[in-house]
Amino acid sequence: MILNILKNIALFVIVCGLAGFCILLGSVLGHRLGQVGLFSGAVIGGIVGVAIGVWLAARLRLLNRANFGVTFLGGVVGFIVAAVIAVNNLRGPIIPVASIALIGLGALIGKILGGHKR
């Protein structure tokens, strides 16, 4: 039970951290192409970050490999929700940065829902 909670916390931190880093990197690289490039780079970076985070979590045995797809899908859905919230609240940095937690939450929900399929 405690080990499972720790695995979930680690999954959350890894997915949030890598997705957040990739969003930042993608937006910085995309900024060279203007405003559209900035947002496109952030979206591509976010999806890549979720994929890398879930892949790393599977490699570290924080989730079963069979749950990779549904965990990735949950993370992407969380990323989409986070992106909508962040774009509508660009007046300050707190809400966009805090919305990154929705990515990890989405991945956790995906992992939990994927664990119930048998």
Q: Could you read off the pLDDT of 1-12 as tens digits, one per residue? A: 899 999 999 999
| Per-residue pLDDT, 107 | 97
**CA–CA distance, 58 with 52 (Å, rounded to integer):** 10
**CA–CA distance, 43 with 68 (Å, rounded to integer):** 20
| Nearest Cα residue to 42 out of 52, 53, 30, 51 | 30
Phi, psi of 54 (to 5 degrees): -70, -40
Q: Could you read off the pLDDT of 61-83 as tens digits, one per residue? A: 999 989 999 999 999 999 999 99
CA dihedral sign of residues 75, 77, 78, 84: positive
Do 43 and 72 contact (CB within 8 A), yes or no? no
